[in-house]
Structure 1
Amino acid sequence: MSYTNKPVPEEIKRWNWGAFMFNIIWGFGNKSYLPLLVLVPLLNLVWIFVCGIKGNEWAWKNGDYDSVETFMKVQETWNRAGFIYFIISIIMAVLFFIFFFTTMMAMIATSASHGY
């Protein structure tokens, strides 16, 4: 592992949607293995947020970037993909709950009309 103690520029210390949504894949792609802790039950509920918050710092320290601009271009791809995946996940969850509750209400209405 090539982890360094090099200082992390302030403009890098921001939320990373790629590290949040694709934590394990993002971790391997950025030579950062702390995201593997999402595999620990219950810890994972908190750790995904830690990955989103600290991801850029871990990637900066583990990577060999010649400039902040180069780093940000690489992470921008991860950020865009992670954010799009997040939005799709929210939409799918909403659709699932609408379908689930609609189905449950139809079943209740059917059983009530049959006198069950």
Structure 2
Amino acid sequence: MGGLSVVPPEARGWNWGAFFLSWIWGIGNNTWIALLALIPYVNFVMVFVLGAKGSEWAWRNKRWESVEQFRRTQRTWAIVGLVLFAIGVILGIIGAVAASMNPSTTTTGMTI
């Protein structure tokens, strides 16, 4: 609603979409400071900053028709972020299991 707008209490709080999707969420919400998450080592801190301040920044950096529209939009970002995170974890587990089952990656029987 603008840089000087008052953030209503309903639009405050932890933002899971900003936490999980960091810089992607930032682009979609005109919150350019989120691009700092692309910097190695800064990204670890930045995801927590975005989670804590993301709702406030998104409210101020973009025009919203209502608090309800804002909350719906941020909920969608959170769901997408959580789904992508879960897919990443599942693929990581599958990859780890597959790598452990591949005999060419084991050292048993090899002379070093």
TM over 0.5: yes
Aligned equivalent of 2:15: 16
Per-residue CA distance 1:28-63 (angstroms, 9 max, x = gap) = 111110101012221111112222222111110112
Shift of 1:108: 2.3
| CA drift at 1:93 | 2.1
SS in 2 for 1:100: helix
Judged with a 3 Å threshold, the aligned counterparts in structure 2 of structure 1 residues 6 and 82 are, in CA distance, closer, same or farther, namely same
| CA RMSD between the two structures | 2.3
Q: Which amino acid aligns with 1:95?
A: I
Q: State whether residues 20 and 78 of structure 2, in contact with CA within 8 Å, keep that contact through their aligned partners in structure 1.
A: no
1:35-46 pair list within 5 angstroms? 35-46=34-45
The normalised TM-score by structure 2 is 0.80
Partner of 1:68: 67
Residue identity opposite 1:21 in structure 2: F
Q: Which moved more, 1:57-66 or 1:98-107?
A: 98-107
Q: In structure 1, what residue type is equivalent to 2:38?
A: L
Aligned residues: 111
Is the Cα contact below 8 Å between 2:31 and 2:61 reproduced in 1? yes
Q: Deviations over 1:41-90 (max 9, x none)?
A: 21111112222222111110112123211111111221111111111112
Counterpart code for 2:5: K
Which structure is larger by alpha-carbon Rg, 1 or 2? 1
Aligned partners of 1:104 and 1:52: how far apart in 2? 42
Q: CA deviation at 1:104?
A: 7.5
Percent sequence identity over aligned pairs? 37
Partner-residue secondary structure (3-state), 2:108: helix
Match of 1:86 in 2: 85
SS of the residue corresponding to residue 19 of structure 1 reads helix
- 1:53 maps to which residue? 52
